[in-house]
Structure 1
Amino acid sequence: MPSTPDQPVTVADLNAFKKELLTEIRTLFEMAAPAPKKWLKSYQVKQLLGISHGTLQTMRANGSLPYARIGNLIYYDQYELDKILAERQQNRCYQPTKANRTQKQ
């Protein structure tokens, strides 16, 4: 219940205000908090992409795969890998050829 300047503020008013304020603060934090980055190690990237160590090294060298190096460890951003996979995704349907149809009969 809103109070006017000549009415005293009650404990109930303060509790209601506190709940309202906490709800607003939680909402702001949830909206502003970005998802934490997920970093993958080389062996995980090789498994995910189905590539060899040499291919991974070539992709780093030619700049097609961004990475971060900390000491001797190399990390890859999961978001960047997902973008690369999405760009290279092929939307193909299986269309049986005439040769495939005759072999099955």
Structure 2
Amino acid sequence: MNYITNDDLEKFRVSLIEDIKKILQTYHSENTENNENTEWLRSKMIRKILNISPGTLQNLRTSGKIRYQKVLGSYYYSKSDLLKLFDGK
């Protein structure tokens, strides 16, 4: 029979924290490289700026013309994608 000591648990905790830090650093560095200068705007702001309906904004989103992130039920859109959309690039 093997016993788990407090020392074993402490070593496991430290190891787990280090692994989580590595994963988060990798995720952060990948996203920072891809989205270094990306500003994100909420749906309401986009609709107000462009004077469009929620349905039109949804069409832009689902057709893949603009990038978005959904965070806690709110959609955020890439400002650079909106500028490209109207620049014709």
Identity of matched residues, %: 31
Task: Please give the TM-score of this superposition, normalised by the length of structure 2.
Answer: 0.53
CA–CA separation in structure 1 for the residues paired with 2:87 and 2:61: 19
Residue-by-residue CA offset, 1:12-46 (whole Å, 9 max, x unaligned): xxxxxxxxxxxxxxxxxxxxxx9643210001111
Q: 1:32-47 to 2 correspondence within 5 Å?
A: 36-47=37-48
Could you tell me whether the CA contact under 8 Å between 2:65 and 2:81 is conserved in 1?
Answer: no
Gaps of 5+ in 1: 1-33, 89-105
Q: How far did residue 73 of structure 1 move?
A: 1.1
CA–CA separation in structure 2 for the residues paired with 1:47 and 1:71: 21
CA–CA separation in structure 2 for the residues paired with 1:64 and 1:37: 16
Task: Specify which structure has the higher proportion of helix.
Answer: 2
Partner of 1:64: 65
Secondary structure at the residue paired with 1:65? Answer: coil
Residue 76 in structure 1 maps to residue 77 in structure 2 = yes
Q: How many residues align?
A: 55
Q: Which has the higher contact order (CA 8 A, sep 6+)?
A: 2
Which one has the largest radius of gyration? 1
Aligned partner of 1:73: which letter?
A: S
Q: How far did residue 79 of structure 1 move?
A: 1.0
Secondary structure at the residue paired with 1:74? Answer: strand
Structure 1 runs (4+) deviating above 6 angstroms are none
Change (3 A) 1:37 1:64: closer
CA–CA separation in structure 1 for the residues paired with 2:64 and 2:36: 25
